[in-house]
Amino acid sequence: MNRNWIHVVLAAALGLMLAGCGKTIEEQITEGVASAATTFESKAPAPTTEVGKIKVYLPPAYHVEEGANEMNYIFTKGRDSFILFVNTIEAEDSRLYYDNLINDTSLNIIEKETFEFKEAFGFTAVIEHSEKEYELIVSSGGVKMTTIAEDKKIDEKLTEMMEVVRSVQVQK
């Protein structure tokens, strides 16, 4: 009986070690882009805070600071920083941020996907800066959020960023 318990404990420890290895960068990016698409096409989360001239949803553990002006805001989660750009002139179906992205030939875009839903246009993109550093971008109409991420939790960040972007309501 004791030998069986030892096998159970060893099997559980091995399982935890393998699970701790995590997903590859490619898996994180693929899952993150797919999840961002689902989030884009879902009902936008209700705003939970007001800052400057916007109301916005803050995912758990996120904090927001008023930016330099009413078009730029800084969000933080732990040691991660995110920049939210709000262009009030652009419509829900604006492709401005996407067109600027794909026209910049200096970028190493490793993944991008566009979304269209109920007269809104959005996209997500991942740009490789180095072997372990990636720029994550999500956008919906005239709202865009970016961050620089290491090779961890890219999938979670893309989803949370899309939740934030989709929730933005500009106050008049």
Matching residue, tokens 């916007």: 54
Residue 13 domain flag: no
What pLDDT is recorded for position 155? 94
Residue 126 domain flag: yes
What pLDDT is recorded for position 21? 54
Residue 18 domain flag: no
Q: What is the Cα–Cα distance from 120 to 89, expressed in whole angstroms? A: 15
Residue 48 domain flag: yes
pTM confidence score: 0.84
Residue 101 domain flag: yes
Residue 75 domain flag: yes
| Residue 165 near residue 136 (C-beta atoms within 8 A) | no
- Name the amino acid, one letter, at 64: V
Q: How many domains does the chain have?
A: 1
What pLDDT is recorded for position 91? 92
Q: What is the DSSP letter of 58?
A: -
What pLDDT is recorded for position 107? 94
What pLDDT is recorded for position 15? 40
Structural domain range at position 103: 24-170
Residue 16 domain flag: no
pLDDT tens digit at each of 172 positions of the chain: 455 444 433 344 334 333 445 889 899 999 999 999 999 999 999 999 998 889 999 999 999 887 768 889 999 999 999 999 999 999 999 999 999 999 999 999 999 999 998 889 999 999 999 888 999 999 999 999 999 998 789 999 999 999 999 999 998 7
What pLDDT is recorded for position 67? 73
Q: Is 71 left (phi over 0), alpha (psi -120 to 50) or beta?
A: alpha
User: 139: closest CA among 153, 126, 156?
Assistant: 126
What pLDDT is recorded for position 7? 40
The domain that contains 59 carries what CATH number? 2.60.120.1690
Helix (H) or strand (E) holding 80: strand 80-86
CB atoms within 10 A of CB 79: 6
Residue 125 domain flag: yes
Q: What is the Cα–Cα distance from 23 to 29, expressed in whole angstroms? A: 10
